[in-house]
Structure 1
Amino acid sequence: MTEPEENAMPVEGETGAATRRSGLRNPEAAVRGLGAGTLALEAIVLLLAIQPIRILGVNLSGWQIGLVIGLAVIAAALAGCMRRRWGWNAGTALQVLLLASGLVVHWSLGALGVIFGLAWAYATYVRKSILSS
């Protein structure tokens, strides 16, 4: 008699085996990686957005640059906190803050807020669909 493979998907009707509809070995880790990757990319884009905003002719004051850098640092920190229960809610709050900074600092940050808000909404949808199955 052979031992079942560790990575094999359970067969329908098999007793004692939990079925995984997503086909992922560790769906929680995959979803955390998606959220962390989205936030890490957001942090990088925020830091890279400072110079183009300045080139557009906007004279950013020190507090405005500090706000953008602060949002990038928060995004990077939250990327490392995706294991925490509150990580996804904090990521959603960050997207709202980024949208609001578009009203205060420059419209291009609002555009980034819309783009990353949609990406975050998709990541949240994927999380819900994978973990609820």
Structure 2
Amino acid sequence: MSEPEKNDAIPPEGEMGAAARPSGLRNPEAAVRGLGAGTLVLEAIVLLLAIQPIRILGGDLGTWGITLVIVLAVMAAVLAGCMRRRWAWGAGTALQALLLAGGLLHWSLAALGVIFGLAWAYAMYVRRSILG
């Protein structure tokens, strides 16, 4: 009997073959988690940086509005660290809806909600296209 050729060998258990990775990524799950976490971290930073300009440039962002922005920023940062869990993607979607609803307190929060909602929708699209 002849020895099997190297191309006919079955990869070790747990190692994915090239056919199982249509995206070409070594670890597609980690790449998608990184995209989601990066989006949420960027959102947290922008929310915290937006407080003062909104207050100075004519925003009537009171104590409730500032508290909402800080809570949303903390939630985004915490969710960025929880992206390994399946529920974090749904919670991220809910966070985008809450930010959009924050537009009831100030129009600029609705604008940020639209911008980051679109970024989150793109991250979800990439997740679906890579992971299936």
Please list, as runs of the form range in 1=range in 2, the aligned pairs for 1:45-124 lying within 5 A after superposition.
45-103=46-104, 105-124=105-124
CA deviations on 1:59-109 (whole Å, 9 max, x unpaired) are 322221111000000000000000011010000000000000012x21011
Residue 43 of structure 1 and its aligned partner are, at CA, apart by 0.1
Residue 15 of structure 1 and its aligned partner are, at CA, apart by 5.8
Aligned residues: 120
| Residue 24 of structure 1: aligned partner | 25
In structure 2, C-alpha distance between the alignment counterparts of 1:122 and 1:41, rounded to whole Å: 14
In structure 1, C-alpha distance between the alignment counterparts of 2:9 and 2:103, rounded to whole Å: 54
Q: Which sections of structure 1, spanning at least 5 residues, go unmatched?
A: 5-10
| Residue 130 of structure 1: aligned partner | 130
In structure 2, C-alpha distance between the alignment counterparts of 1:56 and 1:106, rounded to whole Å: 12
CA deviations on 1:17-54 (whole Å, 9 max, x unpaired) are 53211110000000000000000000000000101111
Name the SS for the 2:26 alignment partner: coil
Range with greater deviation from structure 2 (53-62 or 105-114) = 53-62
In structure 1, C-alpha distance between the alignment counterparts of 2:9 and 2:93, rounded to whole Å: 40
| Residue 8 of structure 1: aligned partner | none
Structure 1 stretches of 4+ moved >3 Å: 14-17
In structure 2, C-alpha distance between the alignment counterparts of 1:85 and 1:106, rounded to whole Å: 32
| Residue 34 of structure 1: aligned partner | 35
Name the SS for the 2:83 alignment partner: coil
| Residue 14 of structure 2: aligned partner | none
In structure 2, C-alpha distance between the alignment counterparts of 1:78 and 1:124, rounded to whole Å: 15
Of structures 1 and 2, the larger Rg is shown by 2
Of Structure 1 and Structure 2, the greater helix share is in 2
In structure 2, C-alpha distance between the alignment counterparts of 1:81 and 1:51, rounded to whole Å: 28
Residue 55 of structure 1 and its aligned partner are, at CA, apart by 1.5
